[in-house]
Structures are given as C-alpha cells and as structure tokens.
A and B are shown apart, each in its own frame.
Chain A
Amino acid sequence: MSLRSQLEDILKDLKSTGDIEASAIVSRDGLLIAADISANVNAEAFAAMSATMLGAAETAMTELGKGIPDRVVVESSNGKIVATGAGEKALLVVMTSPKANLGLILLQIGKASRRVEELLG
C-alpha cells in the first residue's frame, strides 16, 4: 500500500468518528500532503493557514515558557478547527460540525496523529 493511501486511510478512519467535515495532513511548512476535503473548500489555503496557526501558537506558547501546546482549537458557531502536531514534519488538521463532541474527537485526533507520525517520522 502506498504511503499516500495509508495516510488517506487514517483520515477515512477519523471521519468514521462522525461530526468531522474535513481533515488534512499538512507539512509543517504548509503544503498539503493528504486531504479529505470537499471540492468547494480551498484545500491549499486551508493547509497553509493551518501551518500558520499551529506554528504561531507553538511559538506564542514556548515564548511564554509553557512548552509546545498539544493542539490549537478554533471554535465558531459554524464549526471547529483542531490542528495538532504529527511529528516534526507534519500536522493534522480537522474541521468539525458545530455540535461535535470535542472530547471524543480530540481522542481520535490524538490517535490519528500518532499514526501519521509513525508513517512520516
């Protein structure tokens, strides 16, 4: 199985948790590696801004001497975005529906990001 389809499988499994509208694996410098995103979303911009968000949050947190954050959660009444590191080279970002149960989703995202890390190092 190719690396790409393995990564896509991870995203597919994640989706089966429910309430996940889109997800992507993105290189730390903001390039799309794999995505499960509907065609009407600008996946490249979503990927780049996810890297910006996580990168800026990590720097903000470490500057305060609080270490690297586990994730960034952005909430709006229309949905949530969760971005989390997946090893040194990649990150995982997920968009949920507004009513999503964050606790359950964070658990699944944690598992998925570890699988990505194993694959990408």
Chain B
Amino acid sequence: MIKATNVVKIFTGRGVPVRAVDGVSAHIGKGEVVVVIGPSGSGKSTFLRCINGLEAFDEGHIFIDGVDLAGRKTDLNALRAEVGMVFQQFNLFPHKTVLENVTLAQRVVRKRSRQDAEIKARTLLKKVGIAEKESEYPSRLSGGQQQRVAIARALAMDPKVMLFDEPTSALDPEMVGEVLDVMKQLAREGMTMCVVTHEMGFAREVADRVLFMDEGKLVEEGTPEHFFTIPTEERTRLFLSQVL
C-alpha cells in the first residue's frame, strides 16, 4: 500500500541544515494500522507530510499503491486525494459550515453533485457522531467535535489511507476519548492508517505495528507486544521509560 525507501528530508533554514527525516524505510500494508512514536522533533510529522506530498523530500522514494511520489510525471493532486490527512490543529475551513467543510473537496476534486456530496457527508457526520451540527460553523464546535469533522472531511474523499498527525494533542483531556473512539472504529473497519501519537494506550490497543523514530531515523519497529515489553534498542527503552 505505502512503501517508503530511504526517504531523506533536509531543511536548510537559517544556519545548519536539519536532517528532519534521515533515511527512513517503512511499509504499510493494506488494512494495517501503523503507529509512529518518538520524541519531539524526531521527524514524525515531517515523515507523515512527505507521505502525502505536502513536503517534498530530497532523496528516496515513496510509493502509494505503486505510484511513485517522487516520479516526475506523478500528479500529486490526484494522489493526495487518495491520502486523507488529519492535522493536530484540525484546520477546518472557518468560513464554511460543517456540512460544506465535508462536501467542498468532494465537489471540487471528485466532481460529485451537491446532492451526492451531501448524502455522503451526512452519512460520515453521523458516523463520527455530529450529524446534528451540520449547519454550524467550526468556531462554534468544541475541539473534539472539530477533529471529528476533520476526520469526516478526509474520509469523504474515500481515501485509500488515512494519516493522523497527533490528532488528540491539541484537545482537552476529556475530548481525547471521543476522537480515539472514532479512530478505533475506523481501524476495525479495515481502514489503512498511519498515526503519529503520544497516546500509548491507543498504540497498544489498536496498532498492528509500532515505529519508533528518533533524530530523523527509524530506530525500531515491531508489534505492540514486542515494543512495550521487550524493546531491543536502548533509545526506545529510554523513551518508553519517560512516557509510560
């Protein structure tokens, strides 16, 4: 489904270049839920953003369903439509109602009729449990509700894979559960997911595989059991001892 080989992303901001992603190779199979963890600044977000082409990487290849993101002829826009992304800061469109947030890209990108788009949107809003808020503007919703709309918005494109970048980090603790529940349900339905999170409980319960990144490198990879009981790398152990 997704195959990354030797991906390198270098930021050359002021002064020293930062190797934010430093030779990461990974794969995500169809229907698999992969959780990426690691300390702050380890390049998790950057790696995720490379996967849907929001960030152009400097070396390596990322294949999505066999299509090379780095290929010169690749239509990035078409590819992005197949890859849903949920952001830490929700990034809902504040000038659109909840319903419009979910229908806009369907109509603009997928060229669906208004009616079809609205039917799809209402089904998804019901699924994430906020059907009754469809005509509200995002600013009137709680963080948890906004994030669930954002998930519905991404799902509306019928993506082949969903990427989550710390979807619960900006939420008040009492709202984390409702968002995680939606994600768990998605996982049960067989959605291919790649989730960056600090929610170790979620990783343990839902993940098929866990990737641990540090300083741009993929340090360790394994099943949750392996990961949380007998990690092999020293850095992984150190990190887990800090967060658990």
The answer to whether A and B interact is no
